[in-house]
Amino acid sequence: MAGQPQWAFPDAVQPKADDAQFDLARAFDAVVLVRAEVPEDGHTAATLGTERGGYGAVIREDGLVLTIGYLINEASKIWLTSHAGQVIEGYPLAYDQATGFGLVQPLGKLNAPHLPRGLSSEVNVGDAAFVIGHGGRAHSLKTRIIAKQEFAGPWEYVLDEALFATPAHPQWGGAALLDAQGSLIGTGSLLMQQMVNDEIAHVNMFVPIDLLHPILDAMLTTGRSPHPPHPWLGMSTQDADTKLIVSRVAQGGPAQCAGVRMGDLVLAVGAQRVTGLAQLFRTVWQHGPAGVEVPLTLAREGQEFHVTVKSADRTDFLKKPKLH
């Protein structure tokens, strides 16, 4: 490897050959560093930044890299760095909004092995696992699956069953979660706090690899999932003790155009009262495909009122990659 990592996990939590039933060195070599540049006028620049960094896992012999999509969303330039120090430009081939997966195609031969894809459905709570980051053993971690449960994100995002693991990796974005056999079972998405054994602990949330299997071919050929896009409202919502509070509205997005403001309380979608994020988003999606009108009941300064939001396809607001 070129150079030495500037930080390292304590030796006790780094993966050792005796801990694994697979070739650890090969797994380290299969994880690359992902660096992306996003234009300042990109739709996501204000929230995700214009310079983004994380990891990605090589999943095919041709060097295809799987990462978490927010790293490469609207990217104008991507660089991949292998464990051996090779630096090569990449192309943001696909981003699936529903799962959060992103694909990067190296624009040249990437000298790195690929990871086998496993089945996250066959992993059980309590199973040992490994989080592999770029930088070899020093940046990799022995962990354990502590939950497989629903996850809803404020940005109109729901996973029926996400994977949660602790101890947590501090550089989680795009990190590879491997099972005991060395197969890829998840892609790092978030660092969160969660109750573990009656104590608050830092945990990582991973997008399960099973969600990639049925959509991979379509992502490779069309750049997106084969499923119709969900109706997007363009508002981030926080769940504060069963109160759903609008924390942000996208500039020029559907919610802002309908008069929704930061601080509004979301009470109902149509005739359905809503008290949780997953329920809110699923109720919106039940109204139809992107473009459908969604009636909302909101509260502002103690007064209830109704608005109708003409939803959109979120990807229509994003800058598209250019092959150069």
Q: What is the pLDDT of residue 317?
A: 93
Residues 96 and 130 in one domain: yes
The contacts of residue 241 (CB under 8 Å, 6+ apart) are none
3-state helix, strand, coil in the chain (%, to 5): 15, 40, 45
Q: Are strands 184-196 and 272-273 parallel, antiparallel or unpaired?
A: unpaired
What pLDDT is recorded for position 164?
A: 97
Residue-level pLDDT at 139: 95
Q: Are residues 222 and 239 in the same domain?
A: no
Domain boundary among 208, 227, 246: 227
Q: Give the pTM.
A: 0.95
Final residue of a structural domain among 181, 201, 227: 227
The confidence score (pLDDT) of residue 2 equals 43
Does residue 137 form part of some domain?
Answer: yes
Dihedral sign for Cα 164, 169, 173, 178, please.
Answer: negative
Helix (H, G, I), strand (E, B) or coil at 180: coil
d(CA 217, CA 241): 40
Residue 195 and residue 132 share a domain:
yes
Model pLDDT, residue 163: 98
State how many domains the chain has: 2
**Could you state, in chain order, the average pLDDT of each consecutive group of 10 residues for the chain (324 residues)?**
68 90 95 97 94 97 97 96 96 95 97 97 97 95 96 97 96 97 97 81 96 96 90 96 94 97 98 97 97 98 97 93 68
CATH code of residue 302:
2.30.42.10
Residue ending a domain, among 177, 199, 227, is 227
Q: For residue 278, what are its two tokens?
A: 């997953």
| One domain for residues 160 and 264 | no
Give residue 70's Cα distance to chain centre: 6
Closest CA to 321 of 105, 175, 109: 105
137 and 197 fall within a common domain: yes
DSSP 81-126: E-TT--EEEEEEEEE-TTT-EEEEEESS------PPB--GGG--TT
Co-location of 9 and 55 in the same domain: yes
pLDDT of 189 reads 97
C-alpha closest to that of 119 among 195, 27, 192, 213: 213
Residue span of the structural domain in which 40 resides: 1-227
What was the pLDDT predicted at 283?
98
CATH of the domain at 30: 2.40.10.120
> Would 323 be classed as within a structural domain?
no
The DSSP call for residue 254 is H
